[in-house]
Structure 1
């Protein structure tokens, strides 16, 4: 019950969604947590709801100087950083075709999803090296593992997180700093609806989720708590010999299709695909 007792963790994008789930689980495991987010109201509300072990720092991870200040303020307040969860991310706009992509949000997607993770990894690692070790957990996506026809800038940014994390894991291993990735998939958050360019965003997101459900081997839907449990494992002593890995938390989606041969035949011969 106290796997992280006495440890200090930072969770970016911690005001809501997956980040809030991770922060809540870490507090339950005995950690003190700094949650960072651009949403001050939600961040302060989450910190208040999770109790005295949590403080909030408004941070835009797309600005490396703010990430540096976040980590330094954590060190100044609590004495160090043992766990860094780089979770903050944005989706970018979903276009029907790559040929319709206008790249207007490319810089934002890359700055938040990739530069922000790189800055968080570097700033936390500098302190962890001095302390003799630590755990850095970078949240990527199954979109960074498996190719697809939509949100291509997002996929590119998340693939970059994976390659960067593996490379840094090699570089920091001699200092006892572990760097791993979690790749969530098919877990309801506001990110998917936020990717819809126009129209009924919630309704279209629901349709996409239903398709995801059909292609997911495990038939129950994932939750933020599933990602939080994976983060707890990678943060704690049970993963002391684990670094440079990408852990999908996706109900088996990246393992392969659950369709039976007869199901594929029916889809292939149907006039319309549901």
Structure 2
């Protein structure tokens, strides 16, 4: 459990959900860790929990929607631990749930794009500036299968995740010269608190019904029937953060149980021979 021993890593949005899972995994692998978030109580509690088990972690309040705070976060990691080897741009918010596109006023467009896209772009830029002068590093951006597959609802969120995927590929090409690798993880159907943030008190019950229906549909469409977890995404982040992926950059890795690969067939073949006959 020492794949990140001696490495310094930042995880934005690290106080809960997928970010928390990644922070826990990185700490378990020996990383010197900076957890960044706007939910101070959750972030500080996580750091206390990690340090009680022998980790070396600090918390820093950071709103990634403010470029200056992102730069200060990178500077703090370097000054605290002496460098930066892994940057995980995970922080993100959802756009509000509406009844449909005709009812969308895009009131939250600027905030969603500023946090999800601009914050991630600034995190990539500021981390890469340090990495380029210090032997390279790994940048892991968190997208979503919502940025790969089109669908109705939360259109601003989906658009922001599509932008993340394209930006990741562009940055990977530009930064490869400096041995800075940039990759994207696209989680799918991982239960996290992010969707709840799109609800108001008035539509929270409607949101819960909507989420249950969507998750049920995704389970039906997903080839793998086991439920995905934040730990599954954390394992993918660990792979991209380490030298095991030293020849991997500009990729988009769905962690979605096969959802974007295609829908399952209508019935399960009786046995392998029948499956081969169907393919032949």
- Normalised-by-shorter TM-score class: over 0.9
CA-CA distance at 1:210 after TM superposition: 1.3
* Match runs of 1:1-274 below 5 Å: 1-51=1-51, 52-197=55-200, 198-200=203-205, 201-260=207-266
Which residues of structure 2 form unaligned runs of 5+?
269-280
CA-CA distance at 1:261 after TM superposition: 7.7
CA-CA distance at 1:47 after TM superposition: 0.7
Q: 1:6-53, CA deviations, whole angstroms, 9 ceiling, x for partnerless residues?
A: 000000000011001001000111111100001111111111111141
Whether contact under 8 Å (1:89, 1:112) holds in the other structure is: yes
The whole-number CA distance in structure 2 between the counterparts of 1:229 and 1:254 is 19
CA-CA distance at 1:211 after TM superposition: 1.5
The whole-number CA distance in structure 2 between the counterparts of 1:131 and 1:171 is 17
Cα RMSD of the aligned pairs, angstroms, is 1.3
The whole-number CA distance in structure 2 between the counterparts of 1:16 and 1:196 is 18
Whether contact under 8 Å (1:37, 1:43) holds in the other structure is: yes
Q: 1:104-157, CA deviations, whole angstroms, 9 ceiling, x for partnerless residues?
A: 110110000000000000000000001111000000000001111111100111
Question: What TM-score results when the alignment is normalised by the length of structure 1?
Answer: 0.93
Which residues of structure 1 form unaligned runs of 5+?
263-274
Question: What TM-score results when the alignment is normalised by the length of structure 2?
Answer: 0.91
* 1:271 corresponding residue in structure 2: none
The whole-number CA distance in structure 2 between the counterparts of 1:154 and 1:12 is 18
How many residues are treated as equivalent by the alignment? Answer: 262
Q: 1:67-104, CA deviations, whole angstroms, 9 ceiling, x for partnerless residues?
A: 00000011011011100000000011122211111111
The whole-number CA distance in structure 2 between the counterparts of 1:28 and 1:152 is 36
Q: Secondary structure at the match of 1:25?
A: helix
The whole-number CA distance in structure 2 between the counterparts of 1:254 and 1:195 is 24
Whether contact under 8 Å (1:193, 1:205) holds in the other structure is: no
